[in-house]
Amino acid sequence: MSDGYPTETVIVSKKALASDEPYDLIYSNIEFLNDQFEEHLTAEEVSADALRSYYVDYYLAQVNNGGFSQFVYNSGWDSEINGFICEGLEAMGAERHLKHFEAAAGLLDQLGPDRMDEFFESDYFGENEERDILNSFDDRFMAIEEEENLIELNARWLRQLPHLVALEPEEMQAEVERRAAALPDREKRIAAALEAAPRFEKLIRALCDEAGHELDRITAGDPAFEWKGQPLVAWHFLTDKGHFYLVDADGKARMMHGDSDEQICEIDAPEDVYGE
């Protein structure tokens, strides 16, 4: 891209770089990447090293939250994501984590495409042999994490990158806007993204409109959530007024407060409008 900073630059806030908390630096990188994705840039148009840090942290967060099976389920065992994770672990010096990830990948290869398709189409909860097999890697992951702390390794690696740049928040926002404005097919990308959005995203956007909130970003799906005693994936998201999550059940979409679980608003959620 012309002007501004080169694509390969890893951009974080000056406050995060000066912080003594390792995760502040990781999170600042995540925020800058998410801001670019919100403006419809693709993985090929952002820093590869930023993505390596981003996906190593995603892997860690998913396993910590619900085990290796949750990471596989939520990521779809995407080869591009897996590539960034392996490259990131190697670059960070997390050799034992890398070997463990490769061993887990070998197990998925042994399961074969048919059993993996069954896993991705399953409800995740209840009797689920594939989930239990995948989660057999969790204890070893946690043991390795005691010796190779991925937050510390990730932050240390980011900090020493020669193409790391720290900016003020308004400078970061200006760089995002510059990159977005440079996209020749920006309007086409926006229209395509809205049309192709999954049901949960369309419902979240509709709930934000109903509640008078401005959607910041959708953060993660929680497959361990229960609604009225039944398992349900709750999609968490951030708005200009805080943290909330979506409950999609019984033909209704509900916007719930992330901390108090208070219902903020409710809308009808027919499949012919929002998809299945």
What DSSP line would sit under 4-16, residue for residue?
SS-TT-EEEEHHH
Look at the domain 10-180 and name its fold.
Answer: A middle domain of Talin 1 (1.20.1420)
Residue 11 has pLDDT above 70, yes or no: yes
pTM: 0.77
Strand ranges across the sheet with 263-268: 215-222, 234-239, 242-249, 252-257, 263-268
Q: Are strands 215-222 and 164-167 parallel, antiparallel or unpaired?
A: unpaired
Tens digits of residue pLDDT in 33-79: 999 998 999 999 999 999 999 999 999 999 999 999 999 999 999 99
233: tokens are: 């994936």
Domain boundaries, the chain: 10-180, 197-274
User: Residue 1 has what pLDDT?
Assistant: 42
**Across residues 140-156, what is the average pLDDT?**
98
